[in-house]
Structure 1
């Protein structure tokens, strides 16, 4: 079995079981030394959901090292076969092994988590040929995948907020305060400046 750490929509156990139906031992964990950042172009927003490749609201959630931060995430185990399917779905990320601490009892384990990549590294190490890159990315989108000028996709952001809220107010607060836009704003501050995005999710946000 392979242990997986999910930090976005997989914070919802329902969503996680839709993605990996045979998962085992779903639980909340803390991942010290990382923060979330919305800086990766979500190709699926273009290929399946009709977003314009010229839009700035294309960002999906990734992670990056930050020694001053800690994210609350979900962890579960799955078979090698299920992990390969998940790996394919999250092909544009880099997978790393991280130390986790059980949300309730502090038990320390390790798991595999998606984190940020670089465009050149992705092309060289995960797309063997230009034809493969075109199949996965180029037929839908021509620019860089990792950007500092993009904003969270509103529909996807709503899913992530609902997932965090489903785990309680403390987990939602962690999501708001340990998540950042590509240009460095906390998600709480970003939503305070964009109150119209609250209509994308039934979650009631609190600002402090």
Structure 2
């Protein structure tokens, strides 16, 4: 699969040649929340997002928040509560995460790049989300993949988690419940078990 290591050299040229200058993005964390997204990407339109699954991925609280992000969200209750979400490619058709597909405009790439420091952009397979989705067709989009080591001591940053879950809930309770079921902590626990 096609990928771009941070800071994504050559991305704009690829998008101009293949995607009319727009980034087909699979959002799975804080970008599920429109209020969070527009803070760094003013052109973000939540109503243009469509729920989808990315196949062959697992979603994990494994990305240590940057100092800027911790300043924005506030300190966690312990030094371990600093984790944001990343995905890992497994290639297994049984692994999937729900999220949103969005076509990010070129003018928002600068804010997106500043926001998502250190993530690799990796092309992933996308299918429609939902119990009623009978369309088995797949397409491609790019997801933010964190390649650093998983520290099993990391825990979700509470405010970041609230932003993600509120964003997921804006697409319905079943979408939020699916988010909880398909998300893991760095120690291997499911988010749904951590929350209970």
Mapped pair 1:27 → 2:50: yes
2:95 corresponds, among 69, 73, 91, to 69
> TM-score if structure 1 supplies the norm length?
0.71
The residue aligned with 2:126 is: 100
Look up the SS of the partner of 2:56 in the other structure.
strand
1:26-63 Cα shifts (integer Å, max 9, x gaps): 211111111210011111343444427x7010101111
Look up the SS of the partner of 1:180 in the other structure.
strand
Alpha-carbon distance, 1:85 to partner: 2.2
The residue aligned with 2:147 is: 117
Distance 1:23 1:163 in 2: 14
The residue aligned with 1:202 is: none
Cα 1:175–1:49 change in 2 (3 A) is closer
> What 5-or-longer segments of structure 2 have no aligned partner?
1-21
If you compute each CA radius of gyration, which structure gives the higher value, 1 or 2?
Answer: 1
Pairing 1:11-160 to 2, within 5 Å after superposition? 11-23=32-44, 25-43=48-66, 44-51=68-75, 55-66=79-90, 67=92, 68-103=94-129, 104=133, 105-118=135-148, 146-160=150-164
The residue aligned with 1:132 is: none
> TM-score if structure 2 supplies the norm length?
0.74
Distance 1:17 1:48 in 2: 14
Cα 1:16–1:47 change in 2 (3 A) is closer
Residues matched between the structures, number: 166
Cα 1:46–1:11 change in 2 (3 A) is closer
Of 148-157 and 61-70, more deviation after overlay is shown by 61-70
Distance 1:183 1:85 in 2: 31
Mapped pair 1:185 → 2:177: no
Distance 1:76 1:64 in 2: 20
Distance 1:154 1:40 in 2: 14
Please say if residues 97 and 179 of structure 2, whose CA atoms lie closer than 8 Å, have aligned partners that are also in contact. yes
Tell me the C-alpha RMSD between the 2 structures: 2.3
